[in-house]
Structure 1
Amino acid sequence: MNVLEVAVFAMVVLGPHQQPFACAVSIGGVRCSHGIAAFRDGANDILMSDGVKVAKSPKGELLFSNGIQAHMDSLGWVQFSNGVAVRREGTERFRFSTGMVCRYTAVGQVNCARE
């Protein structure tokens, strides 16, 4: 689990009505400025403070406990069933179909904002 991964999952859970926020590594997990915190749950899973668990299957698929489903489209975007799409831009940045971008701003810190 890393801070950028948590920010991306938090952005997906927010759905298409995303607002800017920041996340930082803290004791035992990651805390974000909009109130969401995330903690490792087992070897590959992340438990968010809003109760949503994100699991990675052995095939690399994302499984959200709230029913959100994901699939990769032919253009490299991961499409989520709640209307959000995201794609990786390099190793330190993710772009969302909503115009938001999550990127590292310092070691252990991520900012998600409209670009």
Structure 2
Amino acid sequence: MLMNVLEVAVFAMVVLGPNQRPFNCEVSVGGVRCSHGIAAFREGVNDIVMSDGVKVVKSQKGELQFSNGVIAKMDSLGWVQFSNGVAVRRESSEQFRFSTGMVCRFTAMGRAGCFREAAKPRQPQE
């Protein structure tokens, strides 16, 4: 079973903390490799181990635990708040938005990218 490349990109963004920068990830032999050097590999059915040593454990309820101590809580507005200062929410099945202004989304089959979304121009008031 192929790993979900977007899921790995989102977990990598969480591990980076608030100092996020753009990168791309793609499915490769045995896992997912990202342009900033992090790779991720499946361990068991639900768990992912990243090359920096951080393990992400997903419970059957979908709760996340990071082996580096980062914990996640859902707030009332649909954002997942992480204890390292990062917040993220799903905007669609193909895109996640971070409180830092970064967005991660599928870019092609087996590929995802995370980048700072350009500010939208303001519409003139009538």
**TM-score, structure 2 as length reference:** 0.90
Give runs of aligned pairs for residues 45-60 of structure 1, distance below 5 A: 45-60=47-62
Equivalent of 1:42, from 41, 44, 52?
44
Give runs of aligned pairs for residues 12-91 of structure 1, distance below 5 A: 12-91=14-93
1:60 and 1:89 mapped to 2: Cα distance? 17
Q: Which amino acid aligns with 1:85?
A: A
The 3-state SS of whatever aligns with 2:19 is coil
The 3-state SS of whatever aligns with 1:12 is helix
2:36 and 2:14 mapped to 1: Cα distance? 14
- State the aligned residue count: 115
Q: Percent identity?
A: 80
RMSD of aligned Cα (Å): 0.6
Q: Which amino acid aligns with 2:49?
A: L
The 3-state SS of whatever aligns with 2:7 is helix
Q: How far is the alpha carbon of 1:76 from its aligned partner?
A: 0.1
Give runs of aligned pairs for residues 85-104 of structure 1, distance below 5 A: 85-104=87-106
Please say which structure displays the higher CA radius of gyration.
2
Q: Could you tell me which runs of 5 or more consecutive residues in structure 2 were left unpaired when the two chains were aligned.
A: 118-126
**TM-score, structure 1 as length reference:** 0.98
